[in-house]
Structure 1
Amino acid sequence: MSLQTLPRPLDPAKFRDPAVTAKGEPRASVPLTGLRTLWVNTGTLCNITCRHCYIESSPTNDALVYLGAAELAAYLDEAAALGMPLTEIGFTGGEPFLNRDLPAMLRDVLGRGLSALVLTNAMKPMMNHASALLALREAFGDRLTLRVSLDHHDPVLHDAERGDGSFAKTLDGLVWLARHGFHIHVAGRAGFGVGAEAAMRAGYAALFAALGIPVDAADPVALMLFPEMNAGADVPEITTACWGILRKSPDSLMCASARMVVKRRGAARPSVVACTLLPYDPQFELGESLAEAARPVALNHPHCATFCVLGGAACSR
């Protein structure tokens, strides 16, 4: 990468005021139109340490501790009592399968008629729950989706991000899921700078075909290629005028239909944050209940611009 292509540092005057931009223009915000996806951060502990992890997950980071099955059940009960149009529960981490309550949480979610999505690296922690997963697959079928993180179809590039040997271990888990008929999605990274998206998808397609993995690499949901997140790079602030300029509706953003439950180390109770991307920023912590968290979210962070508004990314299906 040449110096000319390095991102400019973020203007320190930007993203300071939730109401107005650095230029004094009204900042865009997103109302909650209806809670359809509730994300659950099962804890930031992970079995590996990636080079670029937005949530800094690792075998030692327990800034977000394990959420328990009873704590999740209370939120599901609240959503039902409030008449929220909830359809999907997403589980993220860290590595969700390190949380021993995950199978019980999945059974609770699926037993209520909801869909469940688990983001996993498909390594040993997942395989430790193989029997429980097979029972859930037998009982609930395709309402359970496993989205496996495979950063690149090239093992060298994947391992450069996730550690030596991680590509092979993830493929072992992915192939096991495919052979046992699980509904599978894959998540990759678009920021390697190696070829265009079409070439990336072609590489994944060849890999999936060779291994018998039933994922359509041309489908942007079945294979999600996420943009990189760099909170220190200079990006435009999103004003109320941007909706018309970009021909984009605020309803299309994650925070219009989703929230995430986290439990901070030392906290007596879980809390609700605006989205999966900003678990540590206090301005995006919305309260301890779903009712409190139903207020609008000001797009006062670089990730709001690069990942959601301009990048067009979304974490759920």
Structure 2
Amino acid sequence: MKDLQKPVANLGKFQDAYVTADGQDRASVPLSRPETLWFNTGTLCNIECSNCYILSSPANDALVYLTEAEVRSYLDQIAARAWPVREIGFTGGEPFMNPEMTAMARTALERGFEVLILTNAMRPMMRKTVRAGLLALREAFGDKLTLRISVDHHSADLHDKERGTGSFAKTLEGMEWLRENGFRMAVAGRTVWGESEAEARAGYAALFEQHGFAIDAQDPGQTVLFPEMDERVEVPEITSACWGILDKSPDSVMCASSRMVVKRKGAETPAVLACTLLPYAPEFELGTTLAEAETPVQLNHPHCAKFCVLGGASCSA
């Protein structure tokens, strides 16, 4: 398994949760509009990508499988806290490695939530029992269920460069099965290939047209393009003054609207994290309950600046 330690970068920065390196007040984000609760179903994956931000692989079980009972407990807490959540997201690892994935999705759908599952659409999803479970969910809940497929590039060569030889063809096979059976799909790609966003979206549009996928390549909610999250890159710290300078509201940042539940290997209970992108950063672990997770988030990490505040990213559908 790859080293889980963060690389050395931005020396002197991001040391104090409340004060930047030059002595200014660090920006924070309150949980002002909780719309999405994410569940990391476990870091095990059927493949090992070259630049996976969460270091998923067939060997990494740093985050272990969540259970349907644990998911149900947090859905109960949503109701008890009166969070206005509309969407439950499942990510990994590869969520369909978790034997309770379809049961967890059903529980969330039965509560009236929209459900988003992030998947590579490869063999774990294509197992006979998983396909049967998905068909039953589609029959019962229709477009309340969306599967977001990881397609790192619209060409086979660059996708396979990240995910391994033959991955592109296997993912397309899974997507074609989803298309044939009427599932709602979205795609997640990357913007690290030396092409403009317009060029990337044009490439995805051609791919979707070729295969008859009902996915809008121009809609950022249906075709989500993520930048590389390289902690070795120097980035500015975000101060409280930056909101006015950037003409940006804290409400627009991802941690204003979402939290993620994980279960660490050896832990008795799951934990709630401030950010889907920082599963291994202890300072972003807020507690074990949603009540504890209502605390504001201090933007004390390079990803907060590069990916969220300056990049404007969102993981939601």
Report the TM-score, using the length of structure 1 for normalisation. 0.96
Displacement of 1:10 in angstroms is 3.2
* Structure 2 match to 1:22: 21
Q: Aligned partner of 1:279: which letter?
A: P
1:292 aligns with 2:292: yes
In the TM superposition, 1:181-200 aligns within 5 A as 181-193=182-194, 195-200=195-200
Query: Separation in 2 of the partners of 1:50 and 1:271?
Result: 26
Q: Is the 8 A contact 1:45 1:93 kept in 2?
A: yes
* Structure 2 match to 1:6: none
Q: Find the residue that maps to 1:277 and give its secondary structure.
A: coil
Q: Find the residue that maps to 2:134 and give its secondary structure.
A: helix
Displacement of 1:232 in angstroms is 1.5
Displacement of 1:228 in angstroms is 1.1
Query: Separation in 2 of the partners of 1:10 and 1:59?
Result: 28
- Where in structure 2 are there 5+ consecutive unaligned residues? 1-7
In the TM superposition, 1:195-274 aligns within 5 A as 195-274=195-274
Q: Find the residue that maps to 2:260 and give its secondary structure.
A: strand
Query: Separation in 2 of the partners of 1:75 and 1:64?
Result: 17
Query: Separation in 2 of the partners of 1:211 and 1:203?
Result: 13
- For residues 209-231 of structure 1, give each alpha carbon's deviation from its aligned partner in whole angstroms, at most 9, with x where no partner exists: 01101111111111011111011
Q: Find the residue that maps to 1:224 and give its secondary structure.
A: strand
Q: Aligned partner of 1:167: which letter?
A: F
* Structure 2 match to 1:59: 58
Q: Find the residue that maps to 2:272 and give its secondary structure.
A: strand
Runs of 4+ in 1 over 2 A off after TM superposition: none
Query: Separation in 2 of the partners of 1:205 and 1:86?
Result: 31
Query: Separation in 1 of the partners of 2:19 and 2:25?
Result: 5
Query: Separation in 1 of the partners of 2:36 and 2:205?
Result: 29
Q: Aligned partner of 1:137: which letter?
A: R
Displacement of 1:35 in angstroms is 2.1
* Structure 1 match to 2:31: 32
Query: Separation in 2 of the partners of 1:249 and 1:11?
Result: 25
- For residues 278-313 of structure 1, give each alpha carbon's deviation from its aligned partner in whole angstroms, at most 9, with x where no partner exists: 011000000000001100000000001111111111
Displacement of 1:78 in angstroms is 1.0
- For residues 167-221 of structure 1, give each alpha carbon's deviation from its aligned partner in whole angstroms, at most 9, with x where no partner exists: 000011111111111111000000122x211111111111110110111111111
* Structure 2 match to 1:282: 282
In the TM superposition, 1:45-124 aligns within 5 A as 45-124=44-123
* Structure 2 match to 1:151: 152
Q: Aligned partner of 2:272: which letter?
A: V
- For residues 66-106 of structure 1, give each alpha carbon's deviation from its aligned partner in whole angstroms, at most 9, with x where no partner exists: 00000110010011011111111000000000001111111
Query: Separation in 2 of the partners of 1:78 and 1:26?
Result: 33
* Structure 2 match to 1:42: 41
Query: Separation in 2 of the partners of 1:77 and 1:13?
Result: 42
* Structure 1 match to 2:4: none
Q: Is the 8 A contact 1:10 1:235 kept in 2?
A: no
Q: Is the 8 A contact 2:33 2:251 kept in 1?
A: no
Query: Separation in 1 of the partners of 2:274 and 2:229?
Result: 17
Displacement of 1:21 in angstroms is 0.7
Q: Is the 8 A contact 2:9 2:234 kept in 1?
A: yes
Q: Find the residue that maps to 1:26 and give its secondary structure.
A: coil
Q: Aligned partner of 2:113: which letter?
A: L
Q: Find the residue that maps to 1:14 and give its secondary structure.
A: coil
Q: Aligned partner of 1:189: which letter?
A: R
* Structure 2 match to 1:134: 135
* Structure 2 match to 1:5: none
* Structure 1 match to 2:3: none
Query: Separation in 2 of the partners of 1:242 and 1:111?
Result: 42
Query: Separation in 1 of the partners of 2:222 and 2:78?
Result: 28
Q: Aligned partner of 1:188: which letter?
A: G
- Where in structure 1 are there 5+ consecutive unaligned residues? 1-8
Query: Separation in 1 of the partners of 2:10 and 2:207?
Result: 41
Aligned length: 308
Query: Separation in 1 of the partners of 2:226 and 2:47?
Result: 20
Query: Separation in 2 of the partners of 1:225 and 1:78?
Result: 32
Displacement of 1:270 in angstroms is 0.4
